Amino acid sequence: MSARLAAISPSFIVTEVDRTIAFYRDKLGFEVRFRADDSPWFAVIGRDNAQLFIKSESGVTPVPNHMRHEHLRLDAFIYVADPESLAKEFTAKGVTFSTAFNANTTDGLSGFELKDPDNYVLFFGCPTPEVKRT
């Protein structure tokens, strides 16, 4: 048996670490798991098993995937078993979606997209359950 992977932690270059922390904490319910002491240049934020490394570097501009190529719109896919409930939670916190909740996208997914302060596109969702026909 091979070793199992437990999680992945993408790393986003951001304009301002404190602004990014505030968005993910206040709007998406993430917690700060680590923050560099001296200056706000690096932090680890997460919610449940989803985690991001965020880093700010002078002179380095964030470049989300959709800014590099129009067909690469997602920067992160965050699996959630009940995306509709999460969409309701986020709506109650005033989150603006870049695509509204859809129970069955053309990609066979159920979920929604939003952009963070640096325009990284996050998709929260899961594969659409197959409808059983009788």
5 in any annotated domain: no
pLDDT at 68: 86
38 in any annotated domain: yes
98 in any annotated domain: yes
pLDDT in tens, 92-134: 999 999 988 888 877 888 999 999 999 999 999 999 876 444 4
State which residues form the domain around 49.
11-127
Task: Over range 76-92, report the average pLDDT.
Answer: 95
Confidence of residue 71 (pLDDT cuts 50, 70, 90): confident
Q: What is the CATH number of the domain that holds 32?
A: 3.10.180.10
Which is more confident, 4 or 121? Answer: 121
Confidence of residue 73 (pLDDT cuts 50, 70, 90): confident
Task: Give the H or E element holding residue 14.
Answer: none
133 in any annotated domain: no
Neighbours of 46 (CB within 10 A): 17
6 in any annotated domain: no
87 in any annotated domain: yes
First to last CA, the chain: 39
pLDDT in tens, 17-61: 999 999 999 999 999 999 987 678 999 999 999 999 999 998 999
Task: Give the H or E element holding residue 78.
Answer: strand 76-79
Number of separate domains in the chain: 1
pLDDT at 50: 94
- Report how far residue 79's alpha carbon sits from residue 20's, in angstroms, rounded to the nearest whole number: 21
- Report how far residue 130's alpha carbon sits from residue 110's, in angstroms, rounded to the nearest whole number: 11
